[in-house]
Amino acid sequence: MCLGIAGQIIEFVSASTDLVRVNVFGAERVINVGLVANEGLSPGDWVLIHVGFAIAKMDEGEAKASMAFLQGMGEAFTAEMAAAWDEENDETNPKTKNES
């Protein structure tokens, strides 16, 4: 399984037009768009990024849905970890109570 993440093209950064600067969740990255160059990319377009390469052009709706899903996964993970931490450090929990 691989994970792709949506990014919005800000600008082209090389004369060969294979490198672009993208915005990914507010962070700027430089990625290679050579694999999707035939799709007529321009600033403002959305692309699906995997390990520094754009692997598909996306429409804005797909990109925003993907980003919302990933953000939800992150929130669920954070909540799960917080609950596990609280359970582990709960002095009244018989599973974790330190019996000296």
Written as six digits, the tokens of 31 are 């990625």
Nearest to 47 by CA among 12, 92, 81: 12
The fold of the 5-88 domain, in CATH, is SH3 type barrels. (2.30.30)
- State if pTM tops 0.85: no
What is the pLDDT at residue 99?
52
17-41 CB burial, b ≥16 within 10 A, e <16: ebebebeeeeeeeebbbeebeeeeb
Give the Cβ contact number of residue 94 at 10 Å.
7
Is the Cβ–Cβ distance between 21 and 56 less than 8 Å?
no
In percent, the amount of the chain with pLDDT more than 90 equals 56
Note the pLDDT tens digit of each residue in 32-72: 999 999 999 999 999 999 999 999 999 999 999 988 888 88
Question: What residues does each domain of the chain span?
Answer: 5-88
